Every structure is written in structure tokens, then in C-alpha cells.
């Protein structure tokens, strides 16, 4: 993970909140799980550490970020 991203704290975008609330935007299960972890409190590094047990990777985090 690039150093400039390591300490960022992410919040769900309006699109992300809608995707969780209504299951819109066709998130797959891994992206949905990741989106649920984005809470405006945890750093990206902490979230990535939480991803390892469910089998998610930093690449999944980057993919979800790219989707908005």
C-alpha cells in the first residue's frame, strides 16, 4: 500500500451508502463486506488488516475505491 494512502480515513460516499442500503450498484459480496468496514473512523491500513481473515486483499480495497 502506498504510504500516502496508508493513514487515510475513508467514509462512504453517497453512492456507497445507497449501495449498502438498497443493494444497488451490483456490489459483489467481497466489495459489500469491504464497504461495510468503511466507517469514517478506521484508517485504510486498519481496514486492510481486517480484510485478511475474510480473504480480501488490498487490491479489493483499491477496486472499491475506484468505483466511488
Sign of the alpha-carbon torsion through 9, 45, 53, 34: positive
Here the cell at position 38 is 468503511
Mean predicted confidence (pLDDT) in 29-44: 89
pLDDT surpassing 80 at residue 53: no
**Per-residue pLDDT, 12:** 92
Here the cell at position 44 is 485504510
Sign of the alpha-carbon torsion through 3, 28, 33, 66: positive
d(CA 2, CA 48): 13
Over residues 55-65, the pLDDT tens digits come to: 677 788 788 88
pLDDT surpassing 90 at residue 26: no
Amino acid at each position: 500500500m502506498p504510504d500516502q494512502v496508508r493513514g487515510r480515513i475513508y467514509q462512504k460516499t453517497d453512492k456507497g451508502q445507497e449501495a449498502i442500503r438498497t443493494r444497488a450498484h451490483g456490489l459483489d459480496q467481497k466489495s459489500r463486506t469491504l464497504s461495510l468496514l468503511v466507517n469514517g473512523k478506521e484508517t485504510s491500513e486498519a481496514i486492510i488488516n481486517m480484510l485478511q481473515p475474510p480473504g480480501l486483499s488490498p487490491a479489493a480495497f483499491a477496486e472499491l475505491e475506484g468505483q466511488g
